[in-house]
Amino acid sequence: MMQSGTIKKKVFDWYLFYFVIALVIIGSIAIISSTYMLPAQSRIIRTHFIALFIGIAFMSFFGILNYQIFNDQWKYIYALSIIVLAGLFIFGSVEKGARSWYRLTFFSIQPSEFARIGLILTMSSFLERNLNRISEFFYLFLGLLITFPFMFLMLKQPDFSGILITIPVIFSMFYVAGASSFHVSIFLSYVFLSSLFPLLWTAIVLNPSLSDNFFISIFFELADLGWNTLIFIILIAFLSFATWKVLNYFKRISGFYFAGFAVVLIAGFLTGVFIKHQIKSYQYKRVQVFLDPAKDPKGAGYNLLQARIAIGSGGFTGKGIFSGTQSRLGFVPERHTDFILSVVGEELGFVGIFLVMGLYAIIMYRIKTISDLARDNYGYFICVGFFSLFFSYFLINFGMILGFLPVAGVPLPLLSYGGSNMVSIFIIIGLLQSVYSRRYSIT
């Protein structure tokens, strides 16, 4: 692995830096072009470049700093991340229905971007310390327990897209660390259930005619945590117990699986109830677009369609920089943030999107290479975490715009406008540089 010949003995991985800067340049052009008609253009561009400057400064700082310090001080990192998130409920301000921002005099900060880095660092420490035991169910559970405060606080804001980004990262890290696939899939089914129930309830809220059905209305009332909820839970427990007993009659099976099944189902259900109560009415719309995109052609579905028209109309070479009509005339919403890809696709065409995808692929490969060179497992897990974070962003943002996934407010790192996101991504690059510069072969 170490023999990858391309890596030269340098303190700083300039290649990674060049690729990152290349993406930022493409992003900056797209942001300038897409905000042309917006009244706040000058403010947006100014903020963008200030964030870029701060980001590069942070990258240099974290690149020079020895990343192993964070491993030693993991308790402080963990505490700080939680405090930063919890502080939102005291000092945070509400924007677009979510309490996700610290409003300061000159700018706003979205702390969950930074808390996520803290979470990945803490997880890396945990995995490094429990590498041999992670295949045991208990330690996997313990690791998930660490993430629990983060998840809870993000749900409370609510920041669903933040959770959507984080969950794959956590499971990827556990998986790479060597957790049993069976255990991971148990927890994945828990996550699946806890999102399935709110989705079903939302579907009923959006189609009131459904609740005419007796069973559906009973199911809907379960979300109210009344007596029937208790009966439902007892019923699940009893049914799994009974199934086990009956099957046990024919062949001896451990009751562990059935108990586990009941626990996962009930836990998923209760989490679903909790999530359901966090969903704001405007967020039903998003779920609706996911469940039935044709229902809201002028709303979120319309936006997505316009974004796709922008990309498709770009063709091979695009309409030229500053010449896209779709994004510039305002057909594409959030065009300088979550939908930035449509601007690139329209103005730079297939060449532009391929360039962006290629740069991402190279950066990903670069992170993988750094992980191979990492001098300790902590550095290695940092690489795994950030790799999966980039993967997560890439998958959800591209997937949404290309039409594979529902609308989610997830930015495209290094391309989208967004100060906190930009700075946090540069911090990540800095940490990766730090791992690289302290690689195994240098000392």
Partner 1 sequence: MSLIESKNKFDRFNFLLGAFYFVFVIFLIKVVNMQIIKHKYYLELAERNRTQVINQSAPRGKIISSDNVVLASNKPSYSLIYFPERSYSSKEIDKISFYLARYTNSDIKKIKKIIERAISSQKPLKVAGNLGVNSIIRISELKNLFPGFQQISEAVRYYPYGAWISHLIGYMGKIDSTQWSNYYSFGYSMDSLVGKTGIEKMYEKYLKGRDGGLYMEVDNRGRLIRIVDTQEGEAGNDIILTLNFKMQEAAEKALSELPYKKGAAIALDPYSGKILAYAVKPGFDLNSFVDYSEDKKESSPDIKEFNIGVQGTYPPASTFKIITSIAILESGKPHYDEKFFCPGFFDAGNRVFKCWEKKGHKYMDLKNGLANSCDVYFYNAALKVGPLEIEKTAEQFGFGEKTESPFPGENSGHVFGPKKRAMKKSYWFIGDTLNLAIGQGETLVTPMQMAVFISAIASRGLIFKPYYVDKIVKKNGDVILENFPKIKKKVKLKEETWEKLYEALGEVVSSGTGQAMKISGLEIFGKTGTAQNPHGKDHAWFVCFAKKPKEDPKVAVAVLVEHGEHGSTSALSVAKSIVKAAYPTNISDGKEENIQAVVTE
Separation between Cα atoms, residue 244 and residue 232, nearest integer Å: 18
> Read out DSSP for 200-221?
HHHHHHH-GGGGGSHHHHHHHH
Return the range that interacts with partner 1 (CB under 8 A); candidates 44-52, 203-211, 236-244, 317-325.
Answer: 317-325
Q: How far is the CB of 367 from partner 1 (least distance, A)?
A: 9
Q: Does position 295 bind partner 1 by CB under 8 A? A: no
Alpha helices (H) in 3-96, listed in sequence order: 14-34, 41-64, 68-72, 74-86, 88-91
Stretch that binds partner 1, among 140-148, 296-304, 308-316, 424-432 (CB under 8 A): 308-316
* Site map 130..159 versus partner 1, x via CB under 8 A: -xx---------------------------
Residues 22-41 that bind partner 1 (CB under 8 A): 36-37
Q: Is the peptide bond before 413 cis (omega within 30 degrees of 0)?
A: no
- Using DSSP, how many helices (H) and how many strands (E) does the chain show? 17, 3
Q: For residue 132, how far is the Cα from the chain centroid?
A: 28
Return the number of the residue (272 or 314) whose C-beta is nearest partner 1. 314
Contacting partner 1 within 214-273 (CB under 8 A): none
354 binds partner 1 (CB under 8 A): yes
Length reported for the chain: 443
Of 74, 380, 393, 417, the one binding partner 1 by CB under 8 A: 380
297 is an interface residue for partner 1 by CB under 8 A: no
Work out whether 368 is an interface residue with partner 1 (CB under 8 A). yes
Three-state DSSP class for residue 95? strand
Amino acid at 276: K
Minimum distance between the CB of residue 299 and partner 1, rounded to whole angstroms? 17
Is there binding between residue 188 and partner 1 (CB under 8 A)?
Answer: no
Q: How far is the CB of 178 from partner 1 (least distance, A)?
A: 5
Q: Quote the CA–CA distance of 436 and 375 in Å, as a whole number.
A: 9
Residues with Cβ < 8 Å from 293, sequence gap 6 or more? 301, 304
61 touches partner 1 (CB under 8 A): no
Residue 165 CB contacts under 8 Å (≥ 6 apart), including other chains? 116, 389, 392, 393, 396, 410
326 part of the interface to partner 1, by CB under 8 A: yes
Chain positions contacting partner 1, by CB under 8 A: 1, 36-37, 131-132, 172, 175-176, 178, 306, 308-316, 322-326, 328-329, 331, 345-346, 349-350, 353-354, 357, 360-361, 364-365, 368, 371, 374-377, 380, 384, 387-388, 391, 394-395, 398-399, 402-404, 440
